Structures are given as structure tokens and as C-alpha cells.
Amino acid sequence: MDATTVIAVISCAIVFCGWLVLPHSATTVKPVVVSEEERTPVSVSA
């Protein structure tokens, strides 16, 4: 295995393993308020 391959493998390992420690979600998502009007099914016809 040559030096280029070793560096390439290390590069991939850094990126792929990095995903294991990254946050699942950064921001707290506020619950979306859905109005009654939006809850009502809409009938669509041509």
C-alpha cells in the first residue's frame, strides 16, 4: 500500500467516523400549529 492510499484511507475514516459523533439535530424545532382549516381534507375536482 503506497503513501497516497494510506492518506486516502485516513481521509475517508475521518469523514465517515466523524458522522458518528455529529449532532442528530441542532435546533429545537417548534411544533407547527396547524389550523382547523388546514386539517380539513380538501376535495379537488377538475
R_g over Cα of the chain: 24
- The DSSP element (H or E) to which 30 belongs, if any, is none
What nine digits make up the cell of 45?
A: 375536482
With CB under 8 A, what is the number of residues at the site for other proteins?
Answer: 16
What nine digits make up the cell of 27?
A: 435546533
Which residue do the cell numbers 439535530 mark?
25
- Binding of other proteins by 29 (CB under 8 A): no
Q: How far is the CB of 14 from other proteins (least distance, A)?
A: 8
Q: Return the residues of window 7-26 that contact other proteins according to CB under 8 A.
A: 7-8, 11-12, 14-15, 18-19, 22-23, 26
Using CB under 8 A as the criterion, which residues of the chain lie in contact with other proteins when the complex forms?
2-5, 7-8, 11-12, 14-15, 18-19, 22-23, 26-27
